Amino acid sequence: MPRLWTPISVKDPYNLDKGLLRMSWNRFNTFNLFHKSLPDLSRMTVFQQRWIAKRELRAYHVPNISQKQFLNRHFTSQLPFQKLTRAEQEKLPPVQALCFAELERRLDVIVFRSHFARSIFHARHAVSAGKVFVNGVKCTLPAWRIEDGDLITVDPSTIPTLKSPPNNQEPGTFEKVTHMDPWMFTPAYLEVDYNTCSTVFLRSPLPQPERMEIPSPYPPSWHQLAFDWYNTLKKSKKIRIFKPLVLNGQHVRLKPKFDRMVRRKQKIGMRVKKVIA
């Protein structure tokens, strides 16, 4: 039986001493956001600048997966591109600000961005519990990659802002949750319908003049530093980079012996298809 990738556990994600920001409406996270002060990077070495930017951005964007999983699945040196006029290009933030663009296609991230979960951890739990559907089919994989035009539907019982009336005979209404205001922004690449508790993923985040499409509490320059850190790390041999093994549309992890056997069989099948074609 193939073993799925298991998430890493985050101990005390809202630690007030560390002050790391998360995708969450938690009151301690809002407190950290209110009291957050970015360090002066100009007095640090390039290595220190990149490491600090990587630490802060990873805590916000990818707290529940390992660094190896992020590099294998969600990081690419080829960033999205959009044709713009010369005037728009002059107002364009660093394109490296889209370092985490591929993460926005994750199912759990989309559930949180659509305001159907109180945190990225809650969104992951909702997906694993079978409360989320992709194009009408139940999906229990938080890392499932959503394609353009896919419809994501969430079970109303798991949405924290949806309050059901006492008699349960009338449709529920959305009510404000404490400490959610600073995080209530909907990206342009999502079409959210609160009446049906569904979201349509329109496209990947693209470079836009004078703004970042990916919601983030950090400036574009910090995203650029994080991109440089991960790009350098991926080019080095410190972490073994490989394409995840896919069986029946799912990312799986097998023992090395069986992993080699399955990959060899897939290569032979691809060669046969090329010969037939």
Domain ranges of the chain: 245-276
Q: Which residues 6+ apart lie within 8 Å of 216 measured at CB?
A: 57, 60, 61, 100, 223
The pTM (predicted TM-score) of the whole model is 0.79
Give the sign of the dihedral formed by CA 15, CA 21, CA 24, CA 29.
positive
Give the phi and the psi of residue 208 in degrees, each rounded to 5. -130, 140
Task: Determine the pLDDT at residue 167.
Answer: 55
Task: Determine the pLDDT at residue 237.
Answer: 59
Contact assessment for residue 72 and residue 244, using Cβ atoms and an 8 Å cutoff? yes
Distances (CA, A) of 195 to 76, 82, 150: 36, 32, 18
Task: Determine the pLDDT at residue 199.
Answer: 96
Task: Determine the pLDDT at residue 2.
Answer: 37
Distances (CA, A) of 50 to 26, 113, 221, 261: 28, 26, 10, 39
Distances (CA, A) of 250 to 13, 148, 202: 28, 18, 22
Low-confidence ranges of the chain (pLDDT < 70): 1-9, 88, 164-172, 237-244, 249, 270-277
Task: Determine the pLDDT at residue 200.
Answer: 96
Task: Determine the pLDDT at residue 132.
Answer: 96
Give the pairing of strands 245-247 and 250-252: antiparallel
Residue with tokens 């002060």: 37
Number of H helices, E strands in the chain: 8, 9
The C-alpha atoms of residue 224 and residue 202 are separated, in whole angstroms, by 25
Task: Determine the pLDDT at residue 252.
Answer: 73
Q: Which of 15, 18, 38, 11 is nearest to 28 (CA)?
A: 15
Task: Determine the pLDDT at residue 124.
Answer: 93
Give the sign of the dihedral formed by CA 108, CA 111, CA 114, CA 117.
negative
Task: Determine the pLDDT at residue 52.
Answer: 95
Distances (CA, A) of 265 to 58, 214, 247, 268, 270: 36, 39, 12, 5, 9
